[in-house]
Amino acid sequence: MTDPETVALADAEDRTRGELRAVLDTNVPIAAHLSRNPRSPTIELLERWRRGQFTQLYSDDMLVELVEKFRARKIASEASDRYLADLIMLGEFVFVAPEQVPNAIGADPDDNAILACAFVGRASHIITYDPHFDVLDGDYQGISVLDGLHFLYIVRGDRPPEHSGAETVRPPIS
């Protein structure tokens, strides 16, 4: 006989197996909203998320940071309000207790809230342009850490162009 907790855990694993579940660092929607290029990978990622091609996970800490960053970057309130409303309606909320936040990124402790949301929410990917995440070497607890373009290739089912030896390009967000 199997206990209910074991069954619930197995059900959660079955639900997430093969499904794209991503935590977008705040710099991803900020880059999309600041982009002047309608073909920007970050804009396309948000469009594909709204069409249900992947699940976006978020936590309370991330919502607070998003509001702060949208204001600091002077992004139009209509655009930021729409994104936040869509995130709450279409995204998956992840409750993260303070003791679940790791201390994996020392250079910017706020980034650890993103790691916690991804781990607790059983994300398959963390999407970021933040160089502080480079200390993770592309992986956190089995969760792939990618930039927006490389995650877009996965969402599309594309292959990236042949590696040119160029470094990952991060959009300017200053």
Each residue's pLDDT, cut to its tens digit, for the chain (174 residues) gives: 444 344 333 333 443 446 999 999 999 999 999 999 989 999 999 999 999 999 999 999 999 999 999 999 999 999 999 999 999 999 999 999 999 999 999 888 889 999 999 999 999 999 999 999 999 999 999 999 999 999 999 999 987 776 544 445 555 554
Tally of domains within the chain? 1
Q: What is the CATH number of the domain that holds 95?
A: 3.40.50.1010
Look at residue 9 and tell me if it is in a domain: no
Q: Which residue's structure tokens are 């992986």? A: 139
Look at residue 7 and tell me if it is in a domain: no
Minimal CA–CA distance to 91: which of 169, 29, 143? 29
Q: Give residue 104's domain range.
A: 19-156
Per-residue pLDDT at 173? 53
Hey, how many other C-beta atoms are within 10 angstroms of the C-beta on 165?
5
Per-residue pLDDT at 106? 85
Per-residue pLDDT at 174? 47
